[in-house]
Amino acid sequence: MTINNEELLEALRLESRLRQHAEASMRESELMLTGMRAILEASTGEQLYEQTLALFALLIDSDHALILERQSDGSWMCVASDNDGWLQKVWQHDKVLQRALEGEPAAVVSARRQPIWLPHLNDDVGAVLYGPFSGNDRDDILVFVHHEIGFYVQEHVHLLQRYSQLTHQVRLSLDAKFQAFKSDDLEQAKERAEKSLVHAEKMVSLGTLAAGVAHEINNPVGFINSNMHYFREFSELSCTFAQKVLPLLQSIADSDCAQQSQAQQLLRYMAREEYLERCEELAEVAGECSDGLNRIREITEGLRTFSRQDEDVGEEIDVNQCIHTTLRMVNNELKYHCDVVQQLHHIGPVLGASGQLTQVLTNLMVNAGHAIEGRGTVTISSGREQRDDTWYIYVSVEDTGKGIAAKDLDRIFDPFFTTKEVGKGTGLGLAISHSIIEKMHGHIEVRSTLGKGTRFVVWLPEAQPPADP
């Protein structure tokens, strides 16, 4: 009977150990599934590393965790950590890291005894635990840090060995996600390139079409404008004639001469037909028609400028002088509701045509004034900056106006696109400006915030370094 009781007690103890082991395994599995799900749902590289460290923090007791990546010179860089102070810092290679690199976890009783940690020590660094974490095309090491010296022992090494399959699976998931991110980036870059190519082809076709349309429109417009000039002169002459004849007719109608009756009839006819009023209206209509024809001429001239092929222009342009000239021309557009601030620096010349650069600056400054409702500020600045081994001259035109919606920013340089009210803009100004600056081997950048304002920056390669002021 005693033996049976002992066997029963031993069976109960075994069942209890197995149940505890099963419950622990179940908890670990649930934690792993939760962590793996978070990793797979990560949408950026930063989130991916963050979720990976969070997963291992559930399995390994630590104060901090980090991932070291092998560099081409043999050193190790921290590419992920819950301690921002370690990010991008470098650890030198040693025998302990070599063991982890070869697939064997390793525990260090005190980081102070490991020279590679000396540049990175703080109060949180006591014991360190290393685990292999290499992927398909990169060598990484998992590092766990605890503030208590001697905390990590052989038991933790065995724990990492036990989780080796999980670690391998997490590494595969990381590699797959990074590859997916890379594919997405390449696909987006491809789409942007294709859109740019289509846009460039459209611009070439539109330029050819615009040149032909402008030529065809200019011929009849020139004919109509010539006749309209004659019509306007005649209508003004008719008004002057009527104004001089009316007093004479009235004088005859009031007299006793033989023509009194005829004069009275003519006066009644002119009054009934509102002859003088119609003459004046005719002069106004002729003036409006001439204004409309001038607007058509401006549009066709803009089309011709937009479609004009590259010209061999190589004169040196004083950009600051162009700014001063432009400000004088647009003064009336700005002075009544804008405070103009100039921040011009000593800069060198650029190559191009000064008239075309002035045209671009005029468009940008007038647009800045139109964007301001009420009273605001237009800031004009110039400077010199190096980009990719090339020195550029820049001109910035910034306003405190209503801004441009984000959805419209990609279209503002398209011909005939405008955010202004109907009749207040042709939609060609920025398209022409963009074309001119490209022909000068430069580009235009724009940043805008709705309700706060817009900043256009024209970048042009410098012709030569400026002389010392």
Q: Identify which of 318, 461, 324 has the alpha carbon closest to the alpha carbon of residue 380.
A: 324
Q: Which of 157, 180, 203 is the last residue of a domain?
A: 180
Q: Which of 279, 307, 335 is the last residue of a domain?
A: 307
Q: Which of 129, 157, 180 is the last residue of a domain?
A: 180
In a domain, 248, yes or no: yes
Contact between residue 465 and residue 391 where contact means Cβ atoms under 8 Å apart: yes
Q: pTM above 0.75?
A: no
206 shares a domain with 80: no
d(CA 48, CA 265): 97
In a domain, 113, yes or no: yes
Q: What is the pLDDT of residues 174-191, one digit of tens each?
A: 777 777 767 666 667 666
In a domain, 443, yes or no: yes
d(CA 216, CA 416): 19
How much is the pLDDT for 1? 44
437 shares a domain with 333: yes
427 shares a domain with 345: yes
Q: What is the pLDDT of residues 257-274, one digit of tens each?
A: 878 888 788 878 878 877
In a domain, 468, yes or no: no
Reply yes or no on whether the pLDDT at 135 is more than 80: no
320 shares a domain with 290: no
- Quick one: tokens of 366? 């007038």
Considering only residues 242 and 101, tell me which one the structure prediction assigns the higher pLDDT: 101
- Quick one: tokens of 182? 């890379």
Going by pLDDT thresholds of 50, 70 and 90, the confidence category of residue 256 is: confident
403 shares a domain with 293: no
Full residue range of the structural domain in which residue 295 is found: 195-307
Mean pLDDT, the chain, integer: 80
286 shares a domain with 352: no
C-alpha count within 13 angstroms, C-beta hemisphere, residue 394: 21
Residue holding tokens 């001063």?
A: 324
In a domain, 13, yes or no: yes
97 shares a domain with 206: no
276 shares a domain with 370: no
Q: What is the pLDDT of residues 271-291, one digit of tens each?
A: 887 777 887 787 788 778 877
Reply yes or no on whether the pLDDT at 356 is more than 80: yes
CATH at residue 321? 3.30.565.10
Domains of the chain: total: 3
d(CA 8, CA 232): 121
294 shares a domain with 337: no
How much is the pLDDT for 423? 47
Going by pLDDT thresholds of 50, 70 and 90, the confidence category of residue 310 is: very low
222 shares a domain with 172: no
